[in-house]
Each structure stands twice: as structure tokens, then as C-alpha cells.
Structure 1
Amino acid sequence: MTQEQAAPLLGGGTTRDAALSVRPAAGRVEILCLSGVLDADGAIALTQDLAGHAEKASRAGRRLVLDLTDLGLVSAAAVRVLDTRTRHLGKNPVVVIATAPHVQALFSPSPPPGLRVYPTLGAALAALTPTGSRMEVPIGGEDLQAELFGLHAKIRTGPLIGTAQGVLLERYALADADAAFGLLKQASQRHNVPMRVLASAVVTAPPPSASSPEWFPGRLRTPPPPLELLGGPGFQADDRKHVLRRLVYEAVTLADADGAEVHLSDRALENFLVLEAQAGLDAAYRDRLALVSGPPAVCAQARDLGEPVFVADIAADPDLAGAEEGLAALATGSRALYAVPALTETGECAGVICVHRMRPGRWMTAAQHTALAILADDLAAWRTWYRRTVVPEALEYVHAHAPHRG
């Protein structure tokens, strides 16, 4: 039975009965999706269907996953029937995805031994993945995990900032690396340009003339470009954090999405994509997608192709399902992804907007696709202006406040 085909269970027949469908999945699992309302009679029929699917999955060397995401209601009696009829599977239990809190509550007091219940498909797939092929959550709780992710961020940005320090140290004959860092920090704070962004500009911008008081002689400050969706009342084009935060929430609203992320390309990092803003995505996902070099990450696919990329079901995608990027997306609750590149007038990819949906399948209308494309154009226009206007002002501060060679 394909993803689009859903049939009543053996005991079904009315619109309130549960229906079971098989969703294609890549790799080591077979996903059964249950929708509708599950009562005791439906649970009896379900266990009969499960037996057949379990045997088939076992012969193929795959694990059975029962996805209850679309189940509107399940009775306590149905859970008792499932418990009774799956106890013999204790050594090789059926994996159950229970996203809704009211469904989770029915399984939480005493989990049936023949079932293993997880809140997301990603959590289930991570549990089925052999230890060592994924990053383990460190012992010690969320504080230690946040500390670890913070350390990862420093490791990613440290070399670039160090390179910029070396450039300034040599260019202006500064006393030491601390003096170079202090100069960067002052310019960063004065012009509200992040240290990493400023460091990237120091490394990639044409060097100034040592004898000139200006880095970019004759440069004119141009006003922000007109933006169709991103601008409007209260828009602060100079405030990078404000712009990107506004952008990501516009993306969520326009696409009717459950989450979104914005990556920007960095010339100093060979146009790797850097995660700059997000909404609705957990810390582990943000850490995994903080710096993206290439596919299978969907944002990198969109960058490389120069066109939107849609993944209807991460679990069924042959490239993403078993990759760390796909597992991270599933673990944060995402099932479908849509990424659109922000292309400048010269065809350069300035960044990528990616929206997330918790349910698999296509969901956006033609109007929503158009709106996201316009939003991506706004991002490209703003990023071009920011690079040519705001960042050079911070570089001018560096040049003006550094000692010049005679």
C-alpha cells in the first residue's frame, strides 16, 4: 500500500474508524501511519495487521514503526488491547511515534513491553541507530549540552577570527594579537556588526592603502533597498539581528510552517552556509546545521542548484534518512522541508531560507511558493546592501583607529 493509499483496518467501516497506510521510508524501517480514531475493536484489528507487517519487515531486515501522529483519538481500552497482543514482541518491540500529549499520556504510566514509544520519528531512528554513528547527548543534562554546543560554536568561529587578527597584526604592525582582537571588538560594538562577520570582511576585502586615511576612498553610503515583504514599519536595515529575526518569522508565517532557518553564505569560508537565525528548532539541530559545507543538507542542495528544493518526507529520502542532517531534522520534529536560495542579481547565492513542517507531504500553495521566492529576493537585496554599506563602515573604523605606518 503506498503513502497515498489508506485503508480501514480489518474491523473498520465508518468514518470514525482508524485507517492504516504504509509510508515509504529509506533505510532500515517500515513506517505504518495510523489515522482516525482508535477504539478497542480497532486495536484488535490493528494488532492483526501489525502481525503481518512485522513478519514482512522482519524478513526484509527492517524494523516496524507505527506512526500515531495523525491519530485523532485513542481510547485507554485500545492501549490495553495493544499491550495484551504485543507482549510477545518484547525482545523486538514495535516502535511507536506518539507526538500528541494526550496520546503520550496513555502510554506513559506503564509502557507496554511490546511497544517502544517515542515523541518524534527522529528520536526513534536515533534509538535504532547503532551507538557511535551519531552524536550522543552528554551525561549531565541540558546545561552541559548547551556548554558543549557553545564550545562547538567557538571552535567554528575561532580560526576565522584568528586569521583576521593575523591580517591586522601584520598590516598595522600592532603590538600583539590581543591588540588586533581589541580593534576588531571595538569596531564590532561601534557598528553592531558581529565579530565573525567583521573578521570575514577583513580577510576577504581588498586591502586598504597604508597611506590613505580611508579604507574605501570616495565611498558613498546608499540607502537601504526597497523590499517587498521584509521591509515596512519598524524595519531596521542596519540591525542585522533584527533583520534576520524578522525574516525567519516572516518565513514561518508566509509558509504556514512549524519552523524555519536562515543560512547566509560566507566568502571567507569558501561560501559555506552559516546558520544565522531560526525559529522552532532545537539546540541539537542548530548545532548540527550551524555550518554547512554541502549536501545532503537541503539548504546546501538549494545553494548548489540555485533553485528551490523540496523534501516531502525526510524519512523516505534516500540521502537524508540515514544522514546526520536528516536524523537531526527528524529529532527536532520535522518531517518535510522546503528550501529556497536567495540569489543576487549576479547569480551569487547570498543565503538560503528553509521552512520545516512536522507532517510529511506537500503543503504550500502556489501563492505561498511565490511569497517565499519574494522573501528570498528581499534577503538577497538586503544582504548585498549590508555588505556594501554597513560592513565597510566597520572596516573604516578599524582602519581609522589602527596605527598607520609612516
Structure 2
Amino acid sequence: MADVGSEANTMMVSDKRLPVTSGVHQVSVISLSGPLDADSCVPLMRSLRKGRSNRTERQGQPLILDMAGVPLISASACRTLQRANERDHAPLLVIAAPPRVRRALDHHEITGMRQYRTLAEALTALSAPGDMLTTDRIPPAPEPEEPEVLHEQMLDLQAKARTSGMIGVAQGILLTRYGLSKPSAALDLLKETSQHFNVPLRVLASAVITAPPPRHADQWFFGRTTRTAPPVAGFLRAHRVKPSQRRQVLIATISKAVTVTDADAAELHLKDAAQDDVLVLEQHQGLDAAYRDQAALVAGPPAVCARVQQRLEPVTVPDVATDAALSTHPVGRALLEAGTRAVHGLPLITPDGHCTGTLTVHRSQPGTWLSGSQQQTLGVLAVEVASWSSWYRRTIIVDALEHLHQHRTHRPATR
């Protein structure tokens, strides 16, 4: 096995050739181990090129990557795989990838790539008749092992439990305010409004709790005649996302943050006034379920996002393992178990000085890695997201509350 890096935790590569019959006479198998992070992109591309050159002269022959020893893969490494496939126009078969890596590969939808549990399954697919190797379709990744499925189900239940109380409070407010016949009528009203404006039920419930009571029988916000125009945001134009599409905006934010910083993971928190301005994890990329559970609701330090919110300035932790407060805290231990060593976070501050949340990027290698231009680009993104968040709360959320007030009679939620 040849070491392509200088440190113990860098990527390791070994190549071997296997005979495969039924149309494909020889296949190169590349075995990878160690994290595939931003620093691994150059050696990864070099290994892919070597694997391609080891095959027959004809293009279109498949390459197999054994990722059994890869604990994580960054967005930049996924883009490297995409570029390699676009250049060679050949199928890429991945075998034995851990669940976290499988999900990352599925998320990036790499053209021509398929995943299998074992080498035998991949070889069987290669030997199968027909033209399945020319398809660009990516089959779903194998289901995680049963213990992981049960663990993630438990974490999902905990997440639902965290929001059910707030929804219940909102139901009680509507039930009393509008004299509804039963709690289910209030829930139906919330659901119908949530679906009509594509606003998460939790977000709408928070607004019901924190908004001032309606000022008029026919209008919640009496005298409001115009809607504020959405802010100009370059990242929304680049991703062709409408400002009213909340989930797509958050996804575009994370995608932009990971791309411009060469991060291995990222998370976006927004403040919730109904929960004393606690930070709520709204969107992420590359974070496992255990860490997401720790970061779902953050009320204070030592979590990096909470430090950012407290200081209202960027915060960098070069090495989670050597940060005394973070490394001994459950959120820090979850970071290390997820493969994160370095973290950089910054606040989402509107032009008028209000902090609406935080944006945090992760790196699997310790050290400060952001260049000056990367920090500047990330800062611009943070300002744009903060402006969007403020606009969304003052416009779309207010529209939803107005709709709810004007349709307060019991109407079953649409199915």
C-alpha cells in the first residue's frame, strides 16, 4: 500500500487488477482508507487517473472504489469524483462505503456512480447482460445496519418531542382566542396555513406564540397594505431559488458555504424567539445523526454557534480535541466522533444590527484553513442570509398569520 500523504490520518491508496468475464475483461479496483477531505482531492484525482490508465485502452470501462476504510467524504472530494467521471464518461462503482459516506455520495448525485455492499455484488453487476453500465441512474444506497436505523429513529422521535410542546402552546392560544370547539380544530388551522404558505409547522407555531395579538377583527396587522420587497441576494440568483421558498434557501446557503470554504460539513442555526432565542438547527450538510441531536437546540456555550451568538463575531476553533471546554462537553465529543476537528462560525447579522442566527463550517483536519478571500465571501453570504431571514419573518410569516386570522373557523387541513 502506498501512502499518498505525510500524516497518519491522510488518505491511503492501493490498486489491484481483477479479471471479470462477460464483456469486461479487466477492472481496476482502488482501495481507499482515511478521510477524503479537501486536502485529499489532488491525490484522489491522481489515483483515479492511474486507475483509468491501468485499464484497457477503450474508454467507458468501469472503475471500482473500495471505500470500506473511508470514515467520511467531503463535498470537495465528491466534486472531484464528479469531475473525473465527466472527463472519462465511464461508470464508477463504489463498494463497502460506511453509512455516512453513502449518504454523502447519494446527496451529491454523482453521474454514472452506483453503490454496492460488497465487491461480489459489483462484479455480478458488471457481468450482467444488457446496458446497465451506460445508465446515469444512481440506485438508492443500501439501508444502514439495523442498530443505526434504530438509533436514528430514536433521535427522530426526540426531535419531534422537542417541537410538539410549542405546537401545543400555539394550539391553546388559537383555541382560546377564536373560541374553537376543540384542540383538533386549532391544529387543523395551523396545518392548513402551514401548507398554504409552505411554512414549517414549528416555525408558524413560534410566530403565533410571539406575535402581538390581532389588532382588528378582520386584520391581524391592521393597516398593513404593502409587502416589503425581498432583499437582493447573489447566492439565491446563482441557485435560482425564490426568497419565499424557505427550505430551498437554507439548502442553497449550506451548499454555498461548503463550496466557498472547502468545508467537509456545515450547519445553519436560526434564533427562535418563542424559546428565549435558542439556536435551532435548520439545515446542515455532512453531519451525522448523533451530532445533529446535540446541535438541534443550542442555548449557550461551549458550542461554537452559541459562542458566535454570544460574541456577535466570527469564532474559530482550530482543534476541537484541544479546546478544553468543547472537547469535554457532549457537543464537542459528538463533533469528534463525527470526524470534525476544526470549526469556524460566524453570526448572521442584518444591516440594522440584529443577529438572526449563525452559520458554521467544519473541517476534518485540525488547523485554521480559511483564506482571507474565503472569509470575505463567507461574510457576504452571512449578511445576505441574515437579510433574507429578517425579510421572511416580516413578510411571509406575517402573511401566514394574517391568513390564519382571516380563516380562523374550523377547516380540516388539506390532504
Q: Which TM-score applies when normalising by structure 2?
A: 0.65
Per the alignment, residue 106 of structure 2 pairs with: none
Correspondence 1:230-309 to 2 at 5 A: 230-232=236-238, 234-309=240-315
Instruction: Say if 2:376 is the partner of 1:370.
Output: yes
Alignment equivalent of 2:10, drawn from 70, 77, 80: 70
Summarize the alignment of residues 5-404 of structure 1 with structure 2, pairs less than 5 Å apart: 36=6, 68-70=8-10, 99=35, 141-232=147-238, 234-403=240-409
- 1:302–1:352 CA contact under 8 A, matched in 2: yes
267-276 vs 344-353, which deviates more? 344-353
**Local SS of the residue matching 2:231:** coil
AA aligned opposite 2:326: L
Match of 2:76 in 1: none
Q: Would the aligned equivalents of 2:254 and 2:266 in 1 still touch at CA under 8 Å?
A: yes
Question: What secondary structure is seen at the aligned counterpart in 2 of 1:229?
Answer: helix
- Sort the Cα spacing of 1:372 and 1:99 in 2 relative to 1 into closer, same or farther, 3 A: closer
Q: Distance in 2 between the 1:189 and 1:105 partners?
A: 43
Confirm or deny: 8 A CA contact 2:235 2:252 kept in the other structure.
Answer: no
Q: Counterpart amino acid of 1:269?
A: Q
CA deviations over 1:85-142 (Å, ceiling 9, x no partner) = xxxxxxxxxxxx9547989769xxxxxxxxxxxx9xxxxxxxxxxxxxxxxxxx9512
Measure the CA separation in 1 of the matches of 2:280 and 2:220.
30
Q: Residues of 1 paired with 2:312 and 2:219: CA distance?
A: 40
- What SS does the aligned partner of 1:345 have? coil
Q: Is the 8 A contact 1:98 1:104 kept in 2?
A: no
Q: Secondary structure at the match of 2:348?
A: strand
1:227 Cα shift? 1.5
Q: CA deviation at 1:381?
A: 0.4
- Secondary structure of the structure 2 residue equivalent to 1:337: strand
Verify the 8 A CA contact 2:321 2:341 in the aligned structure 1. Answer: yes
- Residue pair 2:170, 2:206 contacting (<8 A) in 1 also: yes
* Structure-2 separation of matches of 1:72 and 1:270: 47
How many angstroms does 1:287 deviate by?
Answer: 1.4
Larger radius of gyration: 1
Amino-acid identity (%): 43
Counterpart AA for 2:227 = R
Distance 1:361 1:401, change over 3 A: same
Deviation at 1:371, TM superposition (A): 0.6
What displacement does 1:243 show?
0.1
Q: Tell me the number of residue pairs that the alignment of Structure 1 and Structure 2 aligns.
A: 291
Q: Secondary structure at the match of 2:401?
A: helix
Aligned-CA RMSD value = 2.7
Amino acid at match of 2:345: A
| CA distance, structure 1, for counterparts of residue 353 and residue 371 of structure 2 | 26
Query: Normalization by structure 1: what TM-score?
Result: 0.67
Q: Contact (CA 8 Å) 1:168, 1:180: kept in 2 or not?
A: yes
Structure 1 distance, partners of 2:250, 2:69, is 38
Give 4+ residue runs of structure 1 displaced > 4 Å after superposition: 71-74, 97-106
